[in-house]
Chain A
Amino acid sequence: MMAKMRFVRRVSSLPEFGLLLLVIFVLLEGSLLPLGAASSTSKSCEEAKQGHTEVHNFTKKAFPVLGVDYGHIKNPFEISLWVLLACLMKLGFHLIPRLSSIVPESCLLIVVGLLVGGLIKLAREEVPPVLDSKFFFLYLLPPIILDAGYFLPIRPFMENLGTILMFAVIGTLWNAFFIGGLLYGICQISNSDLTAIGILPCLLFGSIISAVDPVAVLAVFEEIHINELLHILVFGESLLNDAVTVVLYHLFEEFSVDGSVTVLDGILGVISFLVVALGGVLFGAMYGFLAALTSRFTSHTRVIEPLFAFLYSYMAYLSAEVFHLSGIMALIACGAVMRPYIEANISHKSHTTIKYFLKMLSSVSETLIFIFLGVATVDGRHSWNWIFVTMSVVLCLVARVIGVVGLTFIINKFRIVKLTTKDQFIIAYGGLRGAIAFSLGFLLKEDHFHMRDMFLTAIITVIFFTVFVQGMTIKPLVELLAVKKKQEAKRSINEEIHTQFLDHLLTGIEDICGHYGHHHWKDKLNRFNKKYVKKFLIVSERSKEPQLIAFYHKMEMKQAIQLVESGGGSKLPSAVPSTVSMQNIQPKNPPATTKPAERVLPQLSKGREEEIRKILRSNLQRTRQRLHSYNRHTLVADPYEDGFSDLILKKQRMMAIDKKVHNPR
């Protein structure tokens, strides 16, 4: 008996063993092939030279049946290899059950990067400069940000915008100056070569290291399922502080070269910040509108619809970067603006394509970033200075805590739902640094900043500390402090009606009081949207659909999808005509406990039913997004949320139909 069990266990681990072998093979291939490439390219070089000089002595060679020419495909091959490695790693982590629940994925990926970097170094190959800043900012970062922006839950974001902006702008400024200033002071006190570092390079370092990183935050927070408020606060902060970072970085970089700063420069800096932030948002909104407008005309070429969404967003990012505006804010604005209109215009399949493609790209991007971070660590020329590095880690933590506590004290005076101490702790603890900081440091020019290597080392240490220590411990801490978790709620029609009802009610009361508050302006914006913008950007027949109807249809569609996928739809009573709505179809396994419903349900005419089905297939404007699309790993969160109670509902309706059939009126 025992022997049999052991045998079974060994056999079941065979696939995993095979996967492990595959991974090792890929790693070896990646590191050894370049060796072969080096030799083969040199050979072909010589041959070319020989052929050139011996142009008259044309010796006839035998026709090569098989040849090796690695140099030809070197770059795409290596890129593909890296991406393949990243994906295999992702696979592997989720096959090992306990590991993924203890250690966040980002940590594992960094470790893999370290291993791969080490392997390559062992093979005495030159480690490719993978985390080249240009590569990072142009190709790796945009998909992640676009994914975040497109699926940004607008309502919670807007509700907490004030708080988020406070944390993003003032918090980051505070961090930068606190860290930079204190580091300068410490450098001066310490009697070593650190005293040579001026105040401006220190401030520059402070500004690089102060920004909370969206990639790292996304990677870690996704796994801890924290409540919506905290999630949107930390995540929103990490997105919006890009403008501050961009301005500070350019400011201090410029002035470090010049060597001095005047008050005028300070004022210009503030103006620059406004330009960068608002300009980025403007660019994004512009491209967003263009994308929405284009999607209005794509009804005949459905296949390329997703491409428009991606292209316009990427163009928004690039255009913003041309003018040194905040590309991240442009991307977010573009995604958020174009989403409601695009979803109303494009086909359901295109919508799914966009969703899946975005998730896929951002997932791969994130994985690659962390792996490359590991590789770059191994590769980099490090200059370890105990005082500088440890003090930067300590100061980062201290600055963050003081910043959050101080800001919350001020913010709570204006908030109705105050942030508790627990919330503050999570916000402070969730301030992770990531690859953006590293890339910004990497961009520093060696000749201007002779302490660049030390900076990079310090940055990497801070990143490692936050990602490993804070990333790993945040999950048990969340459990320990019993922080409210994200509630997996079924989006019910009740909720939707109630929300709209309350909106109208509160707008009305505001109007009666003559107080032009939050609701008033929101209402005005909605009306403007409905009257002018929608008509312009959305295909005509769909622009007039009220939100409630759209929401209802979406729910029905989800139910339909779920029904079909669960193999139901059978056992329709034959006496009932086929023109019934979704409500009356019985699922495969009705639960035992039911309650007979006495009411008679309205029958839909066939034409009406077709109309509803047609509207069902389209995708809908402005349905309020709660956080369902955040999860990187499962994309089918929506249709499978309805569960048990839906089956009960269906059973009830079934019974009603049965009753009606058997007791005709």
Chain B
Amino acid sequence: MGSRASTLLREEEIEEIKKETGFSHSQITRLYSRFTSLDKGENGTLSREDFQRIPELAINPLGDRIINAFFPEGEDQVNFRGFMRTLAHFRPIEDNEKNKNPTASEPLNSRSNKLLFAFRLYDLDRDDKISRDELLQVLRMMVGVNISDEQLGSIADRTIQEADTNGDSCISFQEFIKASLVEANINNTSFNHLTKKIKILMGAFFINATEANLLNKLA
């Protein structure tokens, strides 16, 4: 599949993707070969079934939600551009990007966009708030079936009460950032762990203390 993959992807496309997402040339080609290996129908797009065929994803509690995140609103197929756009959120922030032109639009893997991505995984109805029910759904997925609804409910209540600052018993994006940023500042190592050792492509939610300015803008 290797040689076929590289001929199908034209240089101009690679350049465009590079500009849009910030991945390097080798990263893009590698991901393209992965894309084509997943694409059993060989029509240049991936459907939900293609994703579900990945065995580990099937047992991942958040599997369905992650798959949904790849597909734009209402569509059932995702092409390579869309695939890369979603993955771009997970690229680690390089040092040389920090000095870029501040008026340019925010890169896909900026801290706020990463958190927005995570936030959207909770917030299915896209009302920019995580309600108690949405939280319960996620908790239920992560915890399994053996725990009673009441227990889960009390956990959800406590979570919301800890994060909720304006008393609307929902978690807004700002509150979400605050609750997750607390962890980031304290445990940079947990984010190191999330980003370490992935030599080729996988960064993740890399939150650097020097981006505290960004926090002030958002908070």
Contact = CB atoms under 8 A, between A and B. Distances in A.
A515 B200 contact: yes
A416 B91 CA distance: 11
Contacts of A29: none
Which of B63, B92, B189, B192: most chain A Cβ within 10 A?
B189
Contact of A414 (B142, B182, B197): B197
Given A505-B121, A510-B202, A512-B54, A493 B158 contact: yes
A495 to B, nearest CB: 5
A504 interface: yes
A512 B66 contact: yes
A544 B147 CA distance: 10
Nearest to B63: A508
Interface in A535-556: 544, 546, 548-549, 552, 555
B195 interface: yes
Interface residues on B, range: 35 or more
Contact of A416 (B56, B62, B192): B192
Contacts, number: 190
Given A415-B196, A501-B118, A608 B148 contact: yes
A312 B92 CA distance: 44
Interface string B131-158: 0000000110011101110110111011
Contact of A507 (B60, B188, B209): B60
Which of A158, A493, A548: most chain B Cβ within 10 A?
A493
B194 interface: yes
Nearest to A645: B162
A493 B66 contact: no
Given A158-B193, A518-B197, A508 B66 contact: yes
A229 B169 contact: no
B144 A546 contact: yes
Interface in B35-75: 37-38, 51, 54, 56-57, 59-63, 66
Interface in B173-189: 179-180, 182-183, 185-189
Interface string A462-492: 0000000000000000000000100101001
B201 interface: yes
B190 interface: yes
A501 B117 CA distance: 12
B191 A513 contact: no
A503 B142 CA distance: 11
B28 interface: no
A379 to B, nearest CB: 44
B206 A416 contact: yes
A352 interface: no
Contacts of B63: 508
A517 B197 contact: yes
B193 to A, nearest CB: 4
B167 A649 contact: no
Contacts of A581: 154
B155 A506 contact: no
Contact of B192 (A159, A502, A552, A652): A159
B188 A509 contact: no
A164 to B, nearest CB: 12
Contact of A505 (B118, B182, B185): B118
B150 to A, nearest CB: 5
B155 A548 contact: yes
Contacts of A608: 148, 150-151
Contact of B162 (A546, A598, A599, A649): A649
A492 B189 CA distance: 17
A416 B92 contact: yes
Contact of A494 (B146, B153, B162): B162
Which of A155, A416, A598: most chain B Cβ within 10 A?
A416
A15 interface: no
A515 B118 contact: no
A583 B188 CA distance: 31
A499 B142 CA distance: 12
Interface in A155-198: 155-156, 158-160, 162
Contacts of B108: none
A520 interface: yes
B203 interface: yes
Contacts of B61: 504
B104 interface: no
Contacts of A519: 194
B57 A583 contact: no
A509 B90 CA distance: 9
Contacts of A500: 142
Contact of A501 (B31, B62, B188): B62
A24 interface: no
A233 to B, nearest CB: 10
A59 B22 CA distance: 105
Contact of B62 (A159, A508, A599, A626): A508
Given A509-B87, A602-B153, 11 more contacts: A156-B193, A159-B189, A494-B183, A506-B194, A509-B66, A513-B34, A514-B37, A520-B56, A546-B147, A552-B151, A602-B150
**What are the 5 A-B residue pairs with the smallest beta carbon separation, nearest first?**
A159-B193, A511-B56, A416-B195, A508-B66, A494-B179
Interface of B: 31, 34, 37-38, 51, 54, 56-57, 59-63, 66, 87, 90, 92, 118, 121, 138-139, 142-144, 146-148, 150-151, 153-155, 157-159, 161-163, 167, 169, 179-180, 182-183, 185-206, 208-209
Interface of A: 155-156, 158-160, 162, 228-229, 232, 414-417, 484, 487, 489, 492-495, 497-515, 517-520, 523, 527, 544, 546, 548-549, 552, 555, 581, 583, 595, 597-599, 601-602, 604, 608, 612, 626, 645, 649, 652
